[in-house]
Structure 1
Amino acid sequence: MIDMKVHAADHGFHIHAEKHFIESYSLGQVWEVDLHPAEACEGPLEMLMILEVEPRTILAFEDLLAEHGMEIDQQEDIMLELPLYFKWSLPPLPNPPDLLVLATELAGVSGTTLPVEVSATDTFMSVTDPSQRSLSLVGRVDCRLLDLYIREINMCEVLECAHVLSIWLLEQSSNWLEE
């Protein structure tokens, strides 16, 4: 994850914090990096890069390495991927966008490099108050464990796409935050 964090900084992201979580029962691990584009130091965009590690995947990879060395079959290799998530969130928006239109526009920005799911949360402070809508976006790419292991993973295209998408969200958010 350190290599990815440094690589993200090379692509114009500021790194604010890194957290490592270990689930005590399953021993699943999550690395979470709090980052944002340099242009978003003052907000309103929050962004996380998250790598999830399932222990069974690591054990299966270790078994394959012991059995085949670095000559892992492509069919087996596909099963040995770790999800890398990019999560964006925006505060309550006075003028929220239409979610379908937003999802369509985001597909044009990120293409197939980083497919993005769009969701919204409506919050009511009290029964008589109007709802406040917050946006959440999640992009996911699967990283081949073998590439991570030998440090030959190329994240340039994904990180560049995440940066472009972040800048696009920043530009759009000014309209959504107007009262």
Structure 2
Amino acid sequence: MADLKSHAIDHGFHVHDERHFVETYSLRQLWEVDVHPEEACNGPIDLHLSLEVDPRMLFAFEDVVLALDDPDAEAPTEHTFPLVFTWSLPPLPAPPDLLILATELAGVGGTELPVEVSAIDSFHSVTDAPERSLNMVARVPITLASVYRPADEALCAVLDKCRDVSLDLLRRAPAWLGEDTGF
């Protein structure tokens, strides 16, 4: 996880907070890191990275690697962990059309970073108008082979796309928040 944070910093992200959870029964581990692009220090976008490690997958990968005849042989790529990127925005007075936003973010994220868009409508009181908050989630499988023998190229492409999506959201957010952008 330290390498991932360092790599994110190299791609123009600021790291703000980090959490590590261990489930005592299964020994499943989860790392969470709060980051944002350098341009978004004052908000409104929150970006949350999480990596979940299943010990059964880790042990299965270890068994396969130990069974390799050649220690320098390529490790198998079928063992993966999910790396999840979650963007969130505060309640938006002028929210976008979700279908249009999902389509446009699909063009920005591409196949390297498929982004799902969802919204939550909240009501403070039954007589109040709804407030819509946006959440965007991208799930990328990280192969254990790339962790075993680091290959930063694949992660570089994902982090570049993550930054592109973040900057695109940052560019659009003032209109959704009802702020005058001067355009």
Gaps of 5+ in 2: none
- Give the percent of matched residue pairs that are identical in Structure 1 and Structure 2: 53
Residue equivalent to 1:37: 37
Counterparts of 2:73 and 2:80 in 1: how far apart (Å)? 16
Q: What are the residue-to-residue correspondences of 1:1-179 with 2, within 5 Å? A: 1-68=1-68, 69=71, 71=73, 74=76, 77-78=77-78, 80-154=79-153, 155-178=155-178
Q: What is the aligned residue count?
A: 176
- Is the contact made by 1:14 and 1:36 (CA closer than 8 Å) also made in structure 2? yes
CA deviation map 1:116-164 (0-9, x unaligned): 0111011111111111100000111111101102222431111111001
Counterparts of 1:178 and 1:95 in 2: how far apart (Å)? 6
The residue identity in structure 2 corresponding to 1:148 is: V
The residue identity in structure 2 corresponding to 1:134 is: S
Q: Secondary structure at the match of 2:170?
A: helix
Note the C-alpha offset of 1:97: 0.7
- Is the contact made by 2:16 and 2:33 (CA closer than 8 Å) also made in structure 1? yes
Gaps of 5+ in 1: none
Q: Secondary structure at the match of 2:91?
A: strand
Counterparts of 2:17 and 2:33 in 1: how far apart (Å)? 6
Q: Secondary structure at the match of 1:31?
A: strand
Note the C-alpha offset of 1:23: 1.5
Q: TM-score, normalised by structure 1?
A: 0.93
Counterparts of 1:146 and 1:109 in 2: how far apart (Å)? 27
Q: Secondary structure at the match of 1:91?
A: coil
- Is the contact made by 1:65 and 1:72 (CA closer than 8 Å) also made in structure 2? no
